[in-house]
Chains A and B, each alone.
Chain A
Amino acid sequence: MPGAEKHLRVTFLVAPAYLWLALTVFLPLAVMLFFSFLTAVPVGGREATLTLQHYVSFFTKKIYWYNALRSLELAAYVTLACVVLGYPVAVILTRMITGRAREAIFLMIILPFWTNALVRTFSWTMVLRGPFDIIFTYPAIVIGLVHAYLPYAVLTIYVSLQAIDERLIEAARALGASKRQAFMRVMLPLSLPGVLAGVFLIFIPVTGSFMEPRILGGKDAIMLGPIIESQFTATFNWPLGAALSFMMLAIILLMLALGYPLLQRHMER
């Protein structure tokens, strides 16, 4: 089939989906970026001029940059907890359980993850309110987020562990490595891609979370997520909200850019 005809066919097939994405995701992001440089929303005859004031205020007003750091800190705690708690689960699944039991338990772990996040968070208010009574505190937020994202960590680590050939571990043992050494030198490094994937998948959404902090932390839960959200629902300062959103995105990308080569080097060793 001549090249031109093929190109036409492919474009025709791919167009609807990607046009939809472009119009509902990429274009809006671009527009929001533009808005973040305006003084006000340019509708209803309002005047708007270009400005950097919103971005500047991110760095100058403590409430913004401080809480951005708090969000990052929260994300770090949650990610760490998820990986530390989730890694053993993945190991147990791959090394101790086989066959149908493994499938069934894996499904059980993933199941809550696919239910409504809001409802799950809400269900935590039941527990934390009642006997434990630690609702509306920082730990409550952490618990809620770890509960939500732990399956992510288990999933990615499990997938990479599964790909490791049993025989590699056996070979290491045959060469004289103790169980602990086999783990540290063979299993851990080979599973790092899975850990890395999990870290990214958890760190990013947690940084941007606002629902869990609001519900579990009460009105004292001030982090970047809720702050951005209130720009759109309470104070109606959309350009500021837009600028803060992009600052958050920038921070996330920065973390990614920093973390990735670090871990990649570690993997190559």
Chain B
Amino acid sequence: MRFLGLTYLGAILAFLYLPIAIMMLMAFNQSPLYELPFTFDLVWFKALAGNERLLTAGWNSVWIALVSSAIATSIGTVAALGLARNEFTGKRFLQLMLFPPITIPWLIIGTAMLIFFFWTGVGRGLHAILLGHVALSLPYVIVVVGARLATHGPELEEAAASLGARPAQAFFRVTVPLLAPGIVAAGMFAFAVSFDQFIISYFLAAPGTSTLPVEIFTAIRKGFTPEINAISSIVIIISMSLVLVVSRFYRFGGER
């Protein structure tokens, strides 16, 4: 029984990693048409270095992810603090408001943003994408930081106050150190959400400048160059590394 189970697990894992493995394999393969035999070659990565378009798009993706995660993490943490330590009418409502951005299909949100920005004159472009990415990351940040706050309850801050700490002192000496892992994890989530975001970026991108996923999409549609493989492999490695680092701070699965 156990053997059966482990085999099944192995099969599922193989299924999950198969395409990624093949893609990365092909990125290092000399042949431009995925033909075997496999000859190791860095030609596509070199070609990538000369591909202005992809590189600019990649750079855009990175700095947008950095800025949007910084913004989302700061205002999200502050909001989580406001929600966690207080009971007030409307709190339930605010908590429910966090669901739509993550559950409504991004297609719908993306098109809504497109219409609204167009109508209000904000227009399309990197600034619009930034606005959208922050909005998408916020619920994650608020939930992650909120969960961390919930595990401690208000007692530690009360203890600090009973020992004579002014509110600001209690915040910096007690709340922040305790929250730190949660904030870092939230920040990385926000970065990952933004960096990998395609749909919203697609609708809000202005012709000419866009983010990496959008560029890859256009390239796929137009006709294909193996440089896409190369850049895709890089993207996957970055995303996976981020998640691995986050999991050091914020335990998944193992403990409850």
Contact = CB atoms under 8 A, between A and B. Distances in A.
Contacts of B135: 20-21, 24-25
A204 B105 contact: yes
Contacts of A76: none
Interface string B215-256: 011001100000011001001100110111001000111101
A257 to B, nearest CB: 14
A50 to B, nearest CB: 16
List of 10 A-B pairs having minimum Cβ-Cβ separation, nearest first:
A208-B105, A13-B82, A28-B116, A106-B253, A17-B79, A103-B254, A123-B23, A123-B19, A28-B112, A14-B82
Interface string B1-30: 010011011001101111110110010000
A220 to B, nearest CB: 14
Given A112-B17, A150-B12, 16 more contacts: A6-B86, A12-B82, A20-B135, A21-B97, A24-B132, A29-B100, A31-B112, A92-B9, A103-B253, A107-B244, A110-B253, A208-B108, A211-B198, A225-B105, A232-B114, A245-B107
B236 A24 contact: no
Given A116-B195, A118-B217, A242-B115, A25 B109 contact: yes
Nearest to B5: A92
Interface string A225-256: 10011001000001001100110110010000
Contact of A27 (B22, B116, B142, B199): B116
A92 B109 CA distance: 37
Contact of B142 (A17, A106, A118): A17
Interface in B121-163: 131-132, 134-135, 138, 142
A111 to B, nearest CB: 6
A105 interface: yes
Interface residues of B, number: 79
Interface string A36-53: 000001110000000000
Nearest to A201: B103
Given A107-B247, A122-B228, A150-B16, A31 B81 contact: no
B8 A89 contact: yes
B12 A89 contact: yes
Given A31-B112, A122-B23, A116 B198 contact: yes
B108 A126 contact: no
A112 B2 contact: no
Given A92-B9, A232-B114, A232-B203, A14 B236 contact: no
Contact of B76 (A17, A99, A246): A17
B60 interface: no
B48 to A, nearest CB: 14
B79 A123 contact: no
Contact of B22 (A123, A204, A228): A123
A119 B229 CA distance: 9
A103 B108 CA distance: 35
B88 interface: yes
A248 B105 CA distance: 9
A133 to B, nearest CB: 12
Interface of A: 6-7, 9-14, 16-18, 20-21, 24-29, 31-32, 35, 41-43, 85, 88-89, 92-93, 96, 99-100, 102-103, 105-112, 114-120, 122-127, 129-130, 147, 150-151, 158, 162-163, 200-201, 204-205, 207-211, 214-215, 225, 228-229, 232, 238, 241-242, 245-246, 248-249, 252
A10 B86 contact: yes
A200 B23 CA distance: 31
Interface in B153-204: 192, 195-196, 198-199, 203
A88 B8 contact: yes
24 contacts: A16-B75, A18-B94, A21-B138, A25-B112, A26-B97, A89-B9, A99-B254, A103-B252, A103-B253, A106-B252, A114-B239, A114-B242, A114-B243, A115-B20, A115-B196, A116-B239, A119-B213, A122-B228, A123-B232, A124-B19, A126-B23, A162-B256, A201-B103, A238-B115
B131 A24 contact: yes
Nearest to A92: B5
Nearest to B229: A126
B251 to A, nearest CB: 8
Contact of B16 (A99, A151, A248): A151
A118 B198 contact: yes
A147 to B, nearest CB: 7
Nearest to A89: B12
A158 B256 CA distance: 11
Contacts of B16: 108-109, 112, 147, 150-151
